[in-house]
Every structure is written in C-alpha cells, then in structure tokens.
Chains A and B, each alone.
Chain A
Amino acid sequence: MWFPRLPSDRVLRARPVEAPFALVQTQANAERLFCLNPRAEAEGLHGGMALADARVYCPALLTAPAEPGRDGRFLAALRRWATRYCPWVGIDGADGLVLDVTGATHLHGGEAMMLADMRARAARAGLALRLGLADSRGGAWALARFGEGVAPAGDPLAALGPLPVAALRLEPAVVTALQRLGLRTIGDLAASPRPPLTRRFGPALLARLDQALGALPEPVTPAAEPPHYGIRLSLPEPIGLTEDVMAGTERLLERLCAQLLAREAGARVLELSLRRVDGGQSRVELRLASPMREAGRILPLFRRGVETAEAGFGIDQLRLEAVVVEDLPVQQLGGPVTAHGAPAHGPALDDLVTRIGSRIGLENIRRLLPADSHIPERAFLVAPAAFSPPATGGWPAPRPRPLRLFPPEPIAAHGPRPPRRFRWRALQLATARATGPERIAPEWWLPDDAWRHGTRDYWQIETDAGRRLWLFHTPQAPGWFVHGEFP
C-alpha cells in the first residue's frame, strides 16, 4: 500500500480546499514544495520546487507548513486500520504500509475483492492509494510505486519485467549507471548475466532483484502494538453521587489492575475522565508515590479528586487511563528490607505520600540525599521522595555542621577574630567560646552568587545565653555573617 500524497491528504482531510494546494518544507534555507494535491500537479508544479517559483507559475496556490511528525502518527493510525485486512502489517518508509495477506484474502472474498475494498475505503477517506500485490515484499513495493497491479503467483517477472530498474529500491547512482548500460527495465536486468553485475555493483543489486522476484526471503516486520491501559465505562443513566462514581471507578480499576498485573507493570499517573451529559468533561488526575496496581489501595486515593469533580447534570461515561506506567515486577510479600530489619518504606507510607501529594503536589514531599561537595549548602540534595529511594550511605561531616542553615545574615563586626559582642535578629549576644576558623573555599568551577565574597572562615560561636551559631568571616571582602545555628 502506498499513499503517494499522504501528507497533503492528511491536511486536506481536516480542511478541504478546492484549489491547488501544497505543503511547504524548509530545506537548506529555502522553502520548497513537499507534497502537492492533484490540482497543483495539473498546474505544472512538482515536489522539490522552490515556493517562490511555484507562486509565479500558479498564483492561486494555497500552502501549509509540512509536519512530518504528525504524518508519522497518521501513518501509524493507518497501520492500525490496515490490521482489518490481516494481522501482519508493517510500516514501510514514510508513506507506505506492507501487509502480509497470505491466508487472509479469502476472508474478504479473494485478492481482487480485497484490493477493491481497500481502494473504496481509501477513496472515501480522501486518501490517494496505490496498491501492489506480489509474492514478495520487493515485488509489491515495485508494483505499488511503478504501475499498479497484481503479479501472478509463481511468475513475478511477467508483471515486474516492464517496470524500470528504479522499482528495485536502488540507490539513485546505481539506477543511473544501469541506465547508461542500457539496462532500463527489471526484465533487462533479470536477463543479463549475473557475475559481471555483481563485480560492478556489488551484491546489493542482485539481492534487491532476488527480493523483488521472491528468490530471497524478506520478512514483514509488524510494528509492536504498544500496551494501552485505558478502560471506559458507559452508563445508560447519568449518575451524580460521589458514591456512585466511586463504585464505577472501582469496576474500572479492577479491570485496569488486572491488565497491569498481566504485564507486570504498575501505574504511576492515573487519569479519570468523567464525561457529563452536557458534553463537558472533568478530569481527576492521581499521581502515585510509587508504581501501584492494587485496586483496593488506589481507590481510596481517588476519593478526594472525585469529591471535587463537577458532576453538573450527571455523568454518563467514565474513562480511566494509566497515563504513566512503570515496570513493577512481582515482589515477595514484605517488601524491601533495610539493614535494620525494618521495611524500607511500607505501602502505607506510599499511600500517605500519595494522599498528601494530591494536596500539596507530589514533588513537594522531599527527602534529603547526600551529595559530594564541601560547600555546606551543597553537601546534600533535597529530592522528591516519590522519585528517589532513601539514602543508604552515611552522612560524612568532617567538622560539626549546624542543624539549620539560613541565607547568610550580615552582622556588624570587624577584624578576622570573632566579635565579642554582636547583635543578631534583635538579640544582643556575647561570645563565650569560639572554635575555628574552618576555611572553606568556593567551588570555583561552579559559579554561585551566594559565594561572591570569596573564601569563608567559619567559626562556631557559643554565646553566653546558650545559643550556638555558625558565623563566617570573608577575608577577601571583610564582613561577618551568621549562616546557621547549631542545636
């Protein structure tokens, strides 16, 4: 199956125009036509033409930017559609599908009927379609692109013989060289002696020929069907009570969790869409603290979202989809165990984190992880607890570190020795004992605004009122700051 105008057909399906139309792609700083409709081709335009030239030939030309990504998705959708003819469907290039219909044609009333059905459906969908049917993949490719038709079984050369050599999926340079030799058609090529051809063009040429004629096997690789975790429940009568919605959600969850279990996966983000009678929709998103597939545990977590959802005149369809899915192998009961023998984090804690996370955001629940830096502020990381396992190593602190750190607060003091008396946060403090200095140099390879005063000399100050502060002096730009407090 070849869709010669797939990109422009895709755009025109959404917004039909009765005029010459082309998709434009920017290539090497020039806007060039990428894909045209038949009206534009009738005006004498062709793909690869500069847009400015095309406008001169045909001032009425309508254009739109090309979007290869969406074309690819459209082709993937067509691939799914094509599985109605046979289960073995692969994507071929940017605009073709290859179907292995062996043993499937009789279901559609024979080859001719099936091809007619494909044509009729593609025409109804507004897609240009060229079909080729042959014993081999290469033969079908050649027939679809260079003269449609069906190669009779067992004698591919009869249909393929008159086609040009370009139909063999060859490099353009090879095609040109073959034409110079006078080998213009596949028939010519098949009739010529093989050893000189191999000597001149390498084995690839004859391999392509054999693939087209069916002498070399070429498998069709069907694209893997990605698992889809979405389940819908349509209701004959609209519902509005929270309990009813929860009951519906429970049914969906049980089926979804069975699917997840079958694939040893766990849902990380779930989305419940509630379609209202008036056509509106409300969505309840649930982000879980860990991948889960136990319906009984997930259901209570939905309650808060369901309670706030707008029911309007009633809800007549529920759809539950696992948006983000992670691998979750089957585990032994009891969960991971830490060195102390206690469960590292039980399922109850994960549920609690999920519930709290649905209120303040899952990323706002943090845990502290060690980091490799001698800078006090960078000696640890604050990471979202749901996405990072707890730290297992130690917490190296070569010197005592304060319990609380705050942005440096300047105090009035002079000289390299700690001040005897100072004011901080409206407190009059007197130094009773000072330990230090501990010199910490900035990490010069990381620019940091907070360290623009250069090296710091840290002092532990015990005040006679009892409070223990962490002060630092910056010798390069004299000043004193309070940076933290010890317990």
Chain B
Amino acid sequence: MPANLFDSFPLRPARVHEVCGPGASSFAAILAAQGSGPVLWVRPAWSAEMLTPQGLSRFFDPARLLIAEAPSPTDALAVTEEALRDGAVPLVVTEITKPLDLRQGRRLQLAAKTGDSTGLCLIPEGMGSNAAETRWRAAPRLASAEEADSTALRWEIIKNKSGTLGTWDVLWTDTAHRLHVVSPVAERPGSARASG
C-alpha cells in the first residue's frame, strides 16, 4: 500500500528535518505556507544567490520572512539553535554548507524540542546528519500540459525515523495556495537504501 504524504507532511513539529535536491527552497516555502507565524531563514552571508519576494509570494506572504545572514557556518548553526530553542519563530530554515556531525545535529534536535519549533535544514546532496527526523529529496519535475500554471514537484522521503518512505508527485496551485498529490510513485529500487 502506498504511503500517504500527509502522514509526514507538514513536518512533525519540535523536530529538525532535512531536505536536499534542487527543489529544497520550494519545499521550505511550501512548508512555511502551512503555518502563519514568522519564518526565520538563516543563509550564509557569502552566498550571491538571493531569495526573491516575488517568487516567495506564490507560496506565502514574504512579510513573514526574516532573513539572518550568518558570516560563518558555525554562526549559522548557533543562530539556528538559538532561534529553535527560543520558540518565538515556529519555523527555522537553515541553509547548511558544511556537513553536520552527530553532536551538532543532536543539539539542534534538543533545541527544537525545547522551543517546540520546527527546524528545516536545506542540505547539499549527501550531507545529511544522522540526527535528522526525516530527510526529503525535492526536485521540480516537468509539468504535464494540464498542470502548466502550477508548480509541479517530485518529493521523495529518503529517511524517516518514525514512518514509511515514499515518493510523490505533488502540485502546488498558486491561486488556491494548496498542495495536491498527483500520484504516489512506485518505489524505485534503491530508494530504501538511504533509510536509517
């Protein structure tokens, strides 16, 4: 029986999750659209990429967004931990540039538990931490002709500490601000390998 996406999404609160792949930013934005509080997005200060409010406004109101530009990876983690522990921000998104070790990942988990807030790390492929509650791979997919005015994505859950793995083709409709599951995708060989 195929897994249900909505068992795992929106992400379990008071935990830190990870997402990798080219669709990680939109995954974070869709997650932010599920809540209504402020969102803290921790970014490396040296990155030349910019998030555009026009792009974000498809998903949620960019006025909810606070961007913290951290001068070093350590500062980024410190800011993330501080914000998670404080709990004033229900969702903290962090762009990770250096692999986390188990201790760092565990610290973030404990901070999220204390503050009852959700953490989401945008990680480069293969830089996951063992402490993560779930790990997702998000990628845009080629939209079919009838999906053309929506955002077509493929989400894959590749690690889940308390649930099943699965792959879904999802569709974000800009006008309705809703996420639809188009079809669960058949389990691919090898996707179970990453569980842990």
Contacts and interface: CB of A to CB of B under 8 A. Distances in A.
Interface of A: 340, 342, 345-346, 348-349, 351-353, 355-356, 359-361, 364-368, 370, 376-377, 379-380, 382, 385, 390-392, 394-397, 401-407, 432-433, 462-468, 484-487
A404 B88 contact: no
A397 B51 contact: no
B185 interface: no
Contact of A367 (B25, B66, B152): B66
Contacts of B57: 394-395, 397
Contacts of B51: 368, 403-404
**What interface size band does chain B fall in?**
35 or more
Contact of B69 (A349, A366, A370): A366
Given A397-B54, A487-B55, 17 more contacts: A340-B36, A359-B75, A364-B68, A367-B65, A370-B53, A376-B54, A379-B52, A395-B53, A396-B54, A403-B26, A404-B49, A462-B143, A463-B142, A466-B22, A466-B140, A466-B154, A485-B22
Nearest to B56: A403
Given A402-B55, A467-B22, A487-B140, A364 B69 contact: yes
B63 A403 contact: no
A352 B68 CA distance: 12
A367 B88 contact: no
Interface stretch (B12-20, B78-86, B98-106): B78-86
A99 B66 CA distance: 55
Given A403-B29, A462-B142, A487-B23, A391 B63 contact: yes
B192 interface: no
Contact of A467 (B55, B58, B69, B140): B140
Nearest to A399: B54
A183 B85 CA distance: 84
A361 B79 CA distance: 11
A207 B157 CA distance: 91
Given A360-B68, A364-B71, A366-B67, A486 B79 contact: no
A390 B83 CA distance: 19
Interface string B101-140: 0000000000000000000000000000000000000011
B67 A367 contact: yes
Interface of chain B: mostly helix, strand, loop or mixed: mixed
B141 interface: yes
B28 to A, nearest CB: 10
A382 B51 CA distance: 10
B50 A405 contact: yes
B37 A356 contact: no
B11 interface: no
B31 interface: no
A464 B142 CA distance: 6
Contacts of B56: 368, 403
Contacts of A379: 52, 54
Contacts, number: 147
Contacts of B71: 360-361, 364
Contacts of B68: 356, 360, 364-366
B73 interface: no
Contacts of B143: 462
Contact of A487 (B64, B82, B88, B153): B153
Most chain A CB neighbours (cut-off 10 Å) among B50, B59, B139, B143: B50
B45 interface: yes
B49 A406 contact: yes
Contact of B63 (A352, A353, A365, A367): A367
A487 B151 contact: yes
B63 A406 contact: no
Given A349-B38, A385-B66, A397-B57, A487 B78 contact: no
Of A351, A360, A380, A468, most buried by chain B (CB within 10 Å of CB) is A360
B130 to A, nearest CB: 27
B181 interface: no
B179 interface: no
Nearest to B72: A360
B86 A404 contact: no
B94 to A, nearest CB: 12
Nearest to A394: B57
A365 B70 CA distance: 9
23 contacts: A340-B36, A348-B86, A349-B88, A351-B86, A359-B82, A360-B70, A360-B71, A364-B45, A364-B68, A367-B65, A367-B67, A368-B53, A368-B62, A368-B63, A370-B53, A376-B52, A377-B50, A395-B54, A395-B62, A401-B55, A404-B49, A407-B48, A467-B139
Contacts of B83: 352, 356
Nearest to A358: B82
Nearest to A304: B82
Contact of A352 (B49, B88, B151): B88
Contacts of B59: 487
Given A351-B88, A397-B57, A487-B140, A366 B49 contact: no
A402 B67 contact: no
A433 B89 CA distance: 39
Which of A361, A397, A403: most chain B Cβ within 10 A?
A403
Contact of A355 (B82, B140, B172): B82
